[in-house]
Each structure stands twice: as structure tokens, then as C-alpha cells.
Structure 1
Amino acid sequence: MLDVSSQSVPAATSRRGLVRRVAILASLTLVLVAVAASLYMVRTVDSQLADIAKSYEIRRQARELMLAVVDAETGQRGYLITRDEAYLEPYNIAVGNLSQTYQSLLALINDIPTQLERIEGLVPDLDAKRAEMARTIELMSAGEGVAALSLLRSDTGLELMGRIRTVLRQVVGEEDEKLIERNGRMEFNRKLLIATILAALGAAAILAYALLSRTQRKVVALAQQQNRLRTANEELEAHVRERTAEVEEARGHAERERARLETLLQDTNHRIGNSLATVSSLLGLQLARSSSDEVRNALEAAQLRVQAIASGHRRLRLGADLETTDAAEFLTDVIDDLAAQMPPNKAVTFEKHLQPMIIPARDATTLGIVVSELVTNALKHAFSDGRAGTVFIRFERPEGGVASLTVEDNGSGIAGHDGHEGLGALIVKQLARQFGGAEPEYRSREGGGTAVTVRLPRLDMPPAA
């Protein structure tokens, strides 16, 4: 007996669990079916509402067409009876609206064969009516009032108006029948939608009850687990406090090391810049002691290039990652240095259009040298005769495009000089190849001057690339 009882309890529990799972699955299925049916009904109702709106618009346009014909006829008759040309204004407006309203109505019924056949068959009558009205007005304007009134009193215009009214009433009547039918379907769909929503609510209630019962059992189990977890949590918190103290200490040490490294990098850049400035000063001393023009020109060019490199190192400001810098900010400082070093007899201004772009710091100095060479060439060749002008520097990368550097001037240009064949151009060409660029593009600038474009495909690529 004991064995039988002990075996029957698990069996009953298993059956109850199976019944519960089947009930939950059936309720969930019913909810999904009801939701799908509701969505379908909503889409059907939207489609029917669109059809109803279209029917109302067809009826309105048909009435507008009839009103346009009536208004035109009223203006015609008023003019013929009173000979007052003021009646011609509403006549002309109505005739103008007649074609526009007809086209609007034709567009609405283009997919309704029966209505389309009626409206297209109305064209001869409409044309005949307009011709009849225009003819009477023409006769009256020509002083043939008797002929105009005789034409007006004939049955032609009356018959045309009758046929037009009949066709338009048929159009409106068919749309009225459609509205009655669609309203009936709308009412049926509304009731069906209410039924599906009620079914969904009932299934949702059953499902919620089943889930609530199951949740209550889980809450009890979770409360027991929570007591066990609380003890483990207290032990973990103590361990976390110890590890947090260690991590904070390590973080403070890392931040101090990072600050020291940043200071060292900045100091290194300044030291390099100062050393190059010293080299530039030595070249300047040698330049002052040289009497050969060729040697002086070579030393002056070398001094300018060393100054450009020194300016690049002094102006380089690293980002938070100590590996990148803002190209626009860096180039602004380099161009300002070039403007400050310009001889007093050069009345040249600089106009900058620099797009902010984060680039590797290792490429910034090279980019500064390219800018310095192109600007120096512009000052040397475009404004060699002391004329005033402007140098335009543009640095940009279009959306999804390639970064490019363009230096333009509105001076005499480099025609007749070696601006694109000298040492400076060779340096620009060699440095551009480091960024995967093609040959620098030299072209005449619209309005006078020269433009040089250097494309830099790999400038803003990450260091790993």
C-alpha cells in the first residue's frame, strides 16, 4: 500500500504539470492568432477607409464638374441677356476649371473601368457644350444678337446638359452604392475585430494567470536562493573592496606615468624644435658670411626648410591617446608661423579653409613640410615682382572621399618658372608618395594664378594600416 501511494503522488504531479504546460501553450497560441487576426483586420479597415475616401473624392469631383458646366452656362446666359461683359469673367473661370476638374476626375477613376467608360464618353458632350457656349458669345460679341439668342433657345444646349447631368448622376450613383456596400463591410469587420480583441484578452488573461502561478512558485525558490547568495555576496564585497583599493593604487600610478610620458613627449618635441631652430640660426650665420648668390640661395632654402620642420615640432600638440593630433589646428599654427616669417616687402595674405581631421602624429610634421613647401613656392614664384595677393590653403576630405591638400594663389603663377620642377616640387612629390598619393596636380587657377593639389589617401588611416 505504501508503495502504491508513494508512486501515485509523483504521477499526479507530472499530470498536473503536463496539463499546465498544454494550457499555457494553447493560451499563447490563441493570443498569437488573435493578434495576427487583429493586424489583418486593421489593414483591411485601412484599405476600406482609403476606398471610402476615394469614393467621396470621386463624388465631389463629379459634382465640381457639373458645377463648372452650370457656372459656365450661367455666365453665358447672363452675358447674352444683359450684354454685360462682367458675366464673361465667371464664364471664363468656369471654362478653365472645367478641363482641370475633368482631368482630376479622370485620374481618380483610371482603375475603375465602368466609371472610366462613362467619363470618357462624356468628352464629346462637354466639347459640344463648350463649343455651343463659345459660339453664342462669339455671335453676341459680333453684334449678331438674334442669331446668338436663337442658338441659345434651341434644344441643342438643353439636350447636352441633360446628357451631362445623366452621366454624372450615374457616376455619383455608382459611388453611392459602393459607399453603402463598404459601410456594411466596415460594420462587419468592426464586429469581427471586437470579437478577435475579446478573444485575445481572454487568452491573455488565462496566460497571465498561468504565468502568475508559476511566478509565485519561482519567487519562493528565489527567496531561498537569495539567502544563500547574501552570504556569498558579503564575502565577495570584502574581496572587491580589497581589489578596488589595489586597482585604485595601480590606476593612480598609471595616470602619473601617463602624465610623465606626455610631458616627456612634449618636451622632446620642443627640444627637437629648438635644436632645429639652432641649426636654422647656424645656417643663417653661414648665409650672412657667404658671398656667392648660388650658395646664399641654397642656404636660404635650407634654412627655410629647417625652420618649417622646427615649427612643426614646436606646434605639434598630441591628443589624449598621445598618438594623434588635429590636422586643422596643427596646420593653422604652421601657416601662422609662415606668415610671421614672410619678408616685409611681401604684401601677401593667407586664407585658410581647413577641415578638422584626426591624423597620426607621426604624419603631422610631414604634412606641415608639404604645406610649407607649397606656400613657399607660391610666395617665390607667384609674387616675385612684389605684387600684393592672397594664398589660399584648403585641406579637406569629402564624405567617403580622399583627403587632399590644395594651395592656390592669385598671383602671376609659375608659368615660365620651375615651380613644379625645382627642389621644392621634388620634395612635395616624394612626401606625397608616403601617403599613397599620385603626382601633385599643377593647374592654372580661374581668374589668374596657380593651384596645386596633393591627394593623400593614407593620411587619416589608423597606424595599424
Structure 2
Amino acid sequence: MLDVSAQSAQRARPRRGAVRRVAILVSLTLVLVAVAASLYLVRTVDSQLADVTRTYEIRRQARELMLAVVDAETGQRGYLITRDNAYLEPYNRAVGSLSQAYQNLLAGLGDNPEQRARIEALVPDLDAKRAEMARTIELMSSGQTADALALLRSDTGQLLMERIRSGLRQFIGEEDAKLIDRNNRMQFYRQLTIGTILAALAAAAILAYALLSRSQRKVAALSEQESRLRSQNEELEAHVRARTAEAEEARGHAERERARLETLLQDTNHRIGNSLATVSSLLGLQLARTGSDEVRSALEAAQLRVQAIASAHRRLRLGADLETTDAAEFLADVIDDLAATVPPSKSVRFEKYLEAMVIPARDATTLGIVVSELVTNALKHAFVEGEGGTVAIRFERPDGEATSLTVEDDGRGMASKEGQEGLGALIVKQLARQFGGSEPEYRERQGGGTAITVRLPLLDVPPR
């Protein structure tokens, strides 16, 4: 007995599976048919909407033609009755728009031969009405008032107007009938679309039920896979946390090393500056114990240059990459140090026009020495004893040109050639060549004084 029941159950399973497959195929077929039918109905409704829109436009154009004829007749009658030229303006405007309104109406009819023939049949009446109105106005304008009014009171114009109105009304009536017919068809298609969509929804519900019963068998397998994936994900997250901690520790170590290196570089620059300041002090002691004017002059020059190099090292501030610096900020500090060495009695004022520019740190000290030499040269040769003035320093990179450094003063000008032939000029010339520069340019400044320009084309070129 048990064997018979088991065999019956085994035979029933394939039967149920076949029925389920057939149900799925039928439901899917219904859905596809419903979708295709819906698309067809939507396109049909779109076509009907386009026809309705075209019908409305044709009716509007017909009314425009009717209004143009009525406006022309109104202007004609107003002019003939009142002899007021103001009525000619709407008459002329209406007559001028008749042809355009007629052409617009024909263009809207397209390939509808019956309606085109109906409208084209109105052309003789329209031409006759236009000629009748023009004739009455011509007679009135020429002073033949009686003839004009007689023609106006005749039945000719009125009969023409009635035929035009009747033809256009009949035309509009037919278009209205078409519009009603299209609206009825749209309503039918709308109801048919709703029925098709409902059928598609029913088929989709049957299909969804069949698929749901099949999907339930996969839920357990997916749940098991999800459990395994969750376990693997936890292991991966633990590994990522460990590697992230190691990376954070390495980054912190690198930041500390970088900070230490930056501190060492800054400290080294300050030590070099302090050492050079010590050398400058020793030169000052030697200067105080020397009686020879020539030796004193040489020691003063050497002391000033040592001080300039010391100032450049102390004022150097490295950027975040420890290899570059802001040239404008650096030169401003160097110029301030030079200004501090000028005795108050000289009354020399400094003007700075410095363009922000990132340059290699190794070139900053050299640039500071060039500025110090040019400024010192201006202070030494530009102003006579007891007089002051202005020293302007420009560091800029014009569009399409090389970087340039200009130091100008409003002193006694280029009458003295000492500043162009001394050791300072030679130092500037040699240092400028490191940046691809040529000979410094000396020129007289407009309004008095001297301007010295040094071209530095390679200063802003990155190293290869």
C-alpha cells in the first residue's frame, strides 16, 4: 500500500512541474501580447492626438481667413460711411493678410483633396469681394461718393460675403464633425488600452506567482551563501583594520621624520646664518682696528656681503616639499634686513613690488645675494651724503617673458660709473649667469635716477 502511494506521488511531481511550466509560458505569452497591444494602442492614440491637433489648427486658420474678410469689409464700410481715413488702416491690414491666411489654411489641409477643393472653390468669391471693396474705396477716394455708395448698397458685395461665410461655415462644420469622430475613436482606444493593461496586469500577476513559487526554493541556498559571505567579510574587515593600523603607524612615523627633517634644515640654515653673523662680527672687529682706508673699504664690502648671505640663510623658509620657497616672502624679509642697516639720517625709503612665485630653495640664497648687491650698490652710489630718496625693487614674471629683477632709485643718475664696474657688478653678472641671464641692463630712469634690470630666464624652470 505504501509503495503504491509513493509511486503515485512520484508520478504527480512531474505532472505538477509540467503544469507549472505551461502556466508560466502562457502567462509570459499573455504579458508579451498585452505589451505589444499597449504599444500599438499608444501609437494609435498618439496619431489620433496629432489628428485632433491638426483639426484644431485647420479650424483656427479658417476662422483667421473669415476674420480677415470681415475686418476688411468693416474697414471698407466705415471709410465709405464716415470718410475717415483711420478706417483704411484696418482695411489695408486685413486685405494684406487675406492671401497669407488662405495659404496657411491650404498648407494645414495637406493631402486632403476634398477639403482643398472646397477651399479653392472660394477663391473666385474672395477675389471678387476684394475687387468690390477696392473699387468702392477707389471711387470714394476720387470723389465719386454717389457711385461708391451705390455700389456699396448693391447686393453684389453682400451676396459675395454670404457665399464666403457659407463656404467657410460648411468647411468648419465638416472639421467639427471630424473632430467629434476622432474624439469618439480616442475614447474607444482609451478604453481598449485600459482593458489591455488590465489583462497585462493579470498575466503579470500569474507569472509573478509562478516565479515566486520557484524563487522560494532558492531562498535557503541564498541564505546559506549570505552566511558564508558574512563570515568572509568579517575576516576581510579584520584584515583591513590591521593593515590600516599599520599604514597609519607608518604615516605617523613618516610625518614625524619629515617634521624632524624640516626642523633640522631650518636649524641648519639658522646655524649657517649665525655662523656668518659671527664672521661679520669678526670682520667688524678687524675693521675697527684697521687704519688703512683701502683695507677698511674692502673689509666693509666683505662685511656687507657676509651679512647679506647670513640674512638670506636666516630668512629662508622652506615649503611643504622641503625643496621650494616663496620668492616674494623671502625677498621681502631680505629687503627688510637691508633697510634695517641704513642709518636713519639717510632717509631712504624702500618700495617692494614682488610677485608671488615658487622657486627652488637652493636658488633662493643666490637670488637674495643678487638683491643685496643691487640694493647696496644703489645705497652706495645713488645718493650724495646727507640726502635720501627711494629705492624700488621689482621681482616679476610678465606674460610670455622671463622672470626679471629690477632695482631702481631716484638718486643722481648714471653720471657715476662706479656701480657698473666694481666688484658688486661683477658678482651680480656671475650669479645672473647661473639662471641663464645676460649682462645686467643699466638705464637712466625717467625723472632722474638709475634702473638696473637682471633677466633670470632659468629661475622658474623646473629641474629635469
SS in 2 for 1:143: coil
Distance 1:137 1:24, change over 3 A: same
Distance 1:202 1:250, change over 3 A: farther
Tell me what 1:274 maps to: 364
SS in 1 for 2:143: coil
Tell me what 2:199 maps to: 199
Distance 2:255 2:27 in 1: 59
Deviation at 1:201, TM superposition (A): 1.0
Distance 1:281 1:142, change over 3 A: closer
Tell me what 2:28 maps to: 28
Distance 2:100 2:202 in 1: 54
Deviation at 1:197, TM superposition (A): 0.6
Deviations 1:103-158 (A, max 9, x none): 43233224433333433443343232122112112212322122112222334323
Distance 1:92 1:281, change over 3 A: closer
- Output the amino acid matched with 2:163: R
1:151-166 to structure 2, matched below 5 A, reads 151-166=151-166
Name which of structure 1's ranges 204-213 and 116-125 shifts more when overlaid on structure 2: 116-125
Tell me what 1:341 maps to: 406
Deviation at 1:283, TM superposition (A): 8.9
C-alpha contact (below 8 Å) 2:140/2:148 kept by paired residues: yes
- Output the amino acid matched with 1:200: A
Distance 1:144 1:184, change over 3 A: same
Distance 1:4 1:282, change over 3 A: farther
- Output the amino acid matched with 2:135: R
Name which of structure 1's ranges 188-197 and 15-24 shifts more when overlaid on structure 2: 15-24
Distance 2:258 2:116 in 1: 81
C-alpha contact (below 8 Å) 2:374/2:407 kept by paired residues: no
What CA RMSD, in Å, does the superposition of the two structures yield over aligned residues?
4.8
Distance 1:94 1:198 in 2: 55
Tell me what 2:144 maps to: 144
1:348-359 to structure 2, matched below 5 A, reads none
Distance 2:227 2:323 in 1: 55
Tell me what 1:71 maps to: 71
Tell me what 1:55 maps to: 55
Distance 1:222 1:163, change over 3 A: same
Distance 1:385 1:132 in 2: 91
Structure 2 residue ranges without an equivalent (≥5): 263-319, 326-357, 379-392, 411-434, 448-454
Deviation at 1:256, TM superposition (A): 6.0
Q: TM-score, normalised by structure 2?
A: 0.55
Distance 1:144 1:212, change over 3 A: same
Residue 248 in structure 1 maps to residue 244 in structure 2: no
Deviation at 1:44, TM superposition (A): 2.0
Tell me what 1:40 maps to: 40
Distance 1:39 1:344 in 2: 87
Tell me what 2:122 maps to: 122
Deviations 1:240-292 (A, max 9, x none): 4433322333444566678879533336954332254267469969x99xxxx
Deviations 1:351-391 (A, max 9, x none): xxxxxxxxxxxxxxxxxx99x99xx99x99xxx9969xxxx
1:56-455 to structure 2, matched below 5 A, reads 56-227=56-227, 234-253=234-253, 262-266=320-324, 269-277=359-367, 280=370, 338=404, 341=406, 343=408
- How many pairs are equivalent? 327
Distance 1:244 1:52 in 2: 68
Distance 1:41 1:253 in 2: 72
SS in 2 for 1:341: strand
Q: TM-score, normalised by structure 1?
A: 0.55
Deviation at 1:218, TM superposition (A): 3.1
Distance 1:213 1:113, change over 3 A: same
Identity %: 63
Tell me what 2:296 maps to: none
SS in 2 for 1:174: helix
- Output the amino acid matched with 1:148: A
SS in 1 for 2:323: helix
Structure 1 residue ranges without an equivalent (≥5): 289-303, 313-330, 346-368, 388-423, 435-462
